[in-house]
Amino acid sequence: MTFISECFENHEDCDYEDIYRAVMVEESKGDDLHSILEKEILSRIIIEGDLSIEYVRVLRTLRKLERAADHAINIAKLMLYSKEGGAIQSY
CATH superfamily of 2-83: Phosphate transport system protein phou homolog 2; domain 2 (1.20.58.220)
Neighbour-count burial of 38, counting CB atoms closer than 10 A to its CB (0-12 exposed, 13-18 middle, 19+ buried): middle
User: Has this prediction a pTM greater than 0.85?
Assistant: no
Give the CA distances from residue 47 to residues 7, 56, 63, in Å, rounded to whole numbers and listed in that order. Answer: 45, 14, 22
61 vs 5, higher pLDDT: 61
Question: What pLDDT score was predicted for residue 75?
Answer: 87
26 vs 89, higher pLDDT: 26
Question: What pLDDT score was predicted for residue 45?
Answer: 85
Q: Do 4 and 79 meet the contact criterion of CB atoms below 8 Å apart? A: yes
pLDDT tens digits, 45-79 = 888 878 888 888 999 999 998 899 888 888 888 88
Question: What pLDDT score was predicted for residue 87?
Answer: 63
Question: What pLDDT score was predicted for residue 89?
Answer: 61
- Domain regions of the chain by residue span: 2-83
